[in-house]
Structure 1
């Protein structure tokens, strides 16, 4: 299944409380359960005024549907084409 990076513009994201992040996570999980398509939220990174999420989904449209139903912005959706890391240098 394709992997996507979702960039979400959320002013003050780095200042969200644990309770705020818990509520956002719970809403995301609820939406994922009810999308009706294979969908996996892998992880998210909170940085400055953005949240960067890594999701597996069948399409960018499924990502948009998740965002719409969850009430989250999805300002930029990019499909991951390769994954590299330190071990890639040894290939």
Structure 2
């Protein structure tokens, strides 16, 4: 199944408390309960953005998750390849 990276602008996200991070995660999980074909793998939180990794049949499902949860989805990009240090022959 395709993997997607979603860029979300969320002012102040990098300063969330543990409780705020739990609340937003719980909200996302509640939406995902009704979307069995969509899986949230992880998110990277930086100052004013989140970069979320999802597996879904298509980008429209990722966008629908954002719509249902009230989350921004500024850019949805399909992952074409994953590389890491071992890709260079190490």
Shift in Å, 1:17: 1.0
Structure 2 unpaired stretches of 5+: none
1:71 equivalent in structure 2: 70
Which residue does 1:54 correspond to in 2? 53
The runs of at least 4 consecutive aligned structure 1 residues that moved more than 2 Å come to none
TM normalised by structure 2 equals 0.96
2:3 equivalent in structure 1: 3
Aligned to 1:40: 39
| Whole-Å separation in 2 of the counterparts to 1:7 and 1:62 | 15
Deviation per CA, 1:7-47, whole angstroms, max 9, x where unpaired?
A: 00001110111111101100111111102x41110000001
The match for 1:80 is 79
- For structure 1, which runs of at least 5 residues remain unmatched after alignment? none
